[in-house]
């Protein structure tokens, strides 16, 4: 009866709630935070957007500066018969310097538009950080599930090996059936196939997590035990208010709307002319008989927007429509975020109930059924297939519990990304 005692011992191990086994104090939160910090520091998408911001920061001073002045050198009224500088009175060496001056306010508006572009790039960076944080959590939690599922599967493999030994022992002395042996062997093969599949999935998720941290896909990772169910104390209204205030995507659209507003003001300024001012100096050569003084000239020029109906007015209308478009884009994005949060909130509520049902209802019942089958089988009141079926039922529900717990935590990670703020 020694094998029976071993089975009962394993049964007692399984009587412990998974929520207690995996809720031991550990450093898995710290490990997760370190993974996130590494990804936010090294991920190429983050580095790309950081450089985009730096590039955008160089623009305001450029667009708010005046155009370069223009220096011209000319020869005027040179006689082609002699090419003599002193032959004619109007022959000059002309030097001119001119500067374009935009209408007051235009340069300031251009700098303002460039500043809005910086804000838009910064919000793109924050949105990317939210996405990367979410993806790191999804990969990390999936690896935690695979680790838990692998450990449970190894334990069940050991148990099934004991079942095969017992079935073969009983069959050898004429107290068991060959089908019991075959059934146990089949289930053991399934367990081994599942372990191979879990190993493959672990390799894929580790590669994905390494890539997020800009590491080689094959880099070694240590994933600790310990998904602990996170407390959730938010209403849907609270989540939506947080998203409206903190989601970078919405802030980006508002910045875009403000940029279009500044573009509209600049378009309205185009009704007014720009100025071009300059100074000319004409140097003349004299002769022994004639002393010719040099000339000095000054000028002011303006552009005349006579085509304003087909140019400036159209530009004003274009930017006005873009302002309205950005407002509707904001409403559309906000409505979509609020809808997604409602779906995620409902999923959290359903997931919480499912976890409670499995942990507090189904798993205790499955353990009791296995315990009863073990007791019955030890005195030959329960057949082997019933015992095996009860054990596999418990095994499947243990895996199901960890699957639901992982999906619950992954859903919270998506809620955080949708709300635009670290909530847990």
What secondary structure, in 3-state letters, does the chain show?
Answer: CHHHHHHHHHHHHHCCCHHHHCCCCCCHHHHHHHHHHHHHHHCHHHHHHHHHHHHHHCHHHHHCCCCCCEEEEEEECCCCCCCCCCCCCCCEEEEEEEEEECCCCHHHHHHHHHHHHHHHHHHHHHHHHHHHHHHHHHHHHHHHHHHHHHHHHHHHHHHHHHHHHHHHHHHHCCCCCHHHHHHHHHHHHHHHHHHHHHHHHHHHHHHHHHHHCCCCCCCCCCCCCCCCCCCCCCCHHHHHHHHHHHCHHHHHHHHHHHHHHHHHHHHHHCCCCCEEEEEEEEECCCCCCCCCCCEEEEEEEECCCCCCCCCHHHHHHHHHHHHHHHHHHHHHHHHHHHHHHHHHHHHHHHHHHHHHHHHHHHHHHHHHHHHHHHHHHHCCCCCHHHHHHHHHHHHHHHHHHHHHHHHHHHHHHHHHHHHCCCCC
Could you read off the pLDDT of 232-291 as tens digits, one per residue?
999 999 999 999 999 999 999 999 999 999 999 999 999 999 999 999 999 988 877 888
In the chain, the percentage of residues whose pLDDT exceeds 90 is: 69
Residue for token digits 């093969």?
189
- Is pLDDT at 12 greater than 60 in this prediction? no
Average pLDDT score over the chain: 89
Identify the CATH number of the domain defined by range 2-66+102-271+308-419: 1.20.1600.10
Q: Which tops the pLDDT comparison, 125 or 292?
A: 125
Q: Which tops the pLDDT comparison, 28 or 200?
A: 200
- Is pLDDT at 155 greater than 50 in this prediction? yes
User: Quick one: pLDDT at residue 385?
Assistant: 83
Strand order in the sheet with 295-302: 70-76, 92-101, 275-283, 295-302
- Is pLDDT at 373 greater than 90 in this prediction? no
Could you read off the pLDDT of 178-208 as tens digits, one per residue?
777 788 788 888 899 999 999 999 999 999 9
User: Quick one: pLDDT at residue 285?
Assistant: 87
Mean local confidence (pLDDT), 367-394: 85
User: Quick one: pLDDT at residue 21?
Assistant: 42
Lowest mean pLDDT among 54-63, 132-141, 183-192: 183-192
Q: Considering the entire predicted model, what is its pTM?
A: 0.85
User: Quick one: pLDDT at residue 176?
Assistant: 63
Mean local confidence (pLDDT), 3-15: 47
User: Quick one: pLDDT at residue 13?
Assistant: 47
User: Quick one: pLDDT at residue 405?
Assistant: 96
Domain residue extents for the chain: 2-66+102-271+308-419, 69-101+273-306
Could you read off the pLDDT of 274-313 as tens digits, one per residue?
999 999 999 988 877 888 898 999 999 999 999 989 999 9
User: Quick one: pLDDT at residue 347?
Assistant: 97
Mean local confidence (pLDDT), 137-144: 95
Q: Check if the beta carbon of residue 236 is closer than 8 Å to that of residue 342.
A: yes
User: Quick one: pLDDT at residue 415?
Assistant: 97
Q: Check if the beta carbon of residue 40 is closer than 8 Å to that of residue 46.
A: yes
Q: Which tops the pLDDT comparison, 290 or 10?
A: 290
User: Quick one: pLDDT at residue 94?
Assistant: 92
pLDDT category at 226 given cuts 50, 70, 90 is: confident
Contacts of 296 (CB under 8 A, 6+ apart): 279, 280, 281, 282
Could you read off the pLDDT of 77-119 as tens digits, one per residue?
988 888 888 888 888 999 999 999 999 999 999 999 999 999 9
User: Quick one: pLDDT at residue 137?
Assistant: 96
Mean local confidence (pLDDT), 331-351: 97
């Amino acid at each position: 009866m020694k094998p029976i005692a071993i089975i009962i011992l394993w049964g007692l191990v399984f009587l412990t709630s998974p929520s207690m086994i995996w809720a031991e104090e550990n450093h898995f939160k710290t490990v997760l935070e370190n993974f996130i910090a590494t990804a936010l520091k090294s991920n190429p998408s983050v580095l790309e957007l950081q450089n985009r911001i730096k590039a955008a920061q160089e623009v305001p001073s450029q667009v708010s500066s005046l155009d370069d002045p223009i220096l011209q050198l000319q020869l005027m009224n040179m006689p082609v018969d002699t090419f003599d500088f002193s032959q004619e009175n109007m022959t000059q060496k002309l030097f001119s310097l001119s500067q374009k001056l935009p209408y007051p306010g235009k340069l300031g508006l251009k700098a303002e538009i460039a500043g809005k572009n910086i804000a838009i790039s910064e919000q793109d960076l924050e949105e990317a950080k939210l996405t990367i944080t979410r993806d790191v959590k999804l990969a990390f939690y999936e690896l935690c599930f695979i680790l838990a599922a692998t450990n449970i599967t190894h334990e069940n493999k050991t148990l099934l090996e004991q079942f095969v030994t017992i079935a073969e022992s009983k069959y050898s002395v004429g107290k068991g059936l060959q089908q019991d042996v075959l059934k146990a062997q089949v289930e053991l093969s399934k367990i081994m196939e599942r372990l191979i599949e879990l190993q493959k999935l672990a390799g894929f998720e580790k590669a994905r997590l390494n890539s997020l941290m800009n590491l080689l896909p094959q880099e070694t990772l240590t994933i600790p035990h310990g998904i602990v169910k996170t407390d959730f104390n938010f209403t849907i209204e609270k989540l939506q208010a947080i998203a409206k205030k903190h989601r970078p995507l919405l802030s980006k659209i508002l910045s875009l709307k403000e940029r279009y507003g500044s573009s509209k003001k600049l378009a309205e300024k185009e009704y007014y002319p720009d100025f071009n001012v300059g100074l000319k100096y004409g140097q003349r050569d004299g002769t022994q008989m004639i002393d010719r003084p040099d000339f000095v000239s000054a000028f002011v020029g303006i552009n005349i927007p006579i085509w304003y109906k087909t140019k400036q007015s159209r530009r004003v209308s274009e930017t006005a429509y873009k302002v309205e478009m950005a407002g509707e884009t904001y409403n559309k994005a906000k409505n979509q975020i609020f809808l997604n949060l409602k779906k995620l909130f409902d999923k959290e509520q359903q997931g919480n109930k499912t976890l409670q049902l499995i942990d507090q209802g189904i798993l205790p019942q499955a353990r009791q059924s296995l315990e009863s089958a073990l007791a019955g089988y030890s005195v030959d009141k329960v057949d082997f297939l019933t015992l095996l079926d009860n054990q596999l039922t418990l095994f499947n529900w243990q895996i199901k519990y960890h699957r639901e717990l992982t999906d619950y935590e992954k859903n919270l990670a998506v809620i955080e990304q949708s709300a635009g703020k670290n909530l847990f």
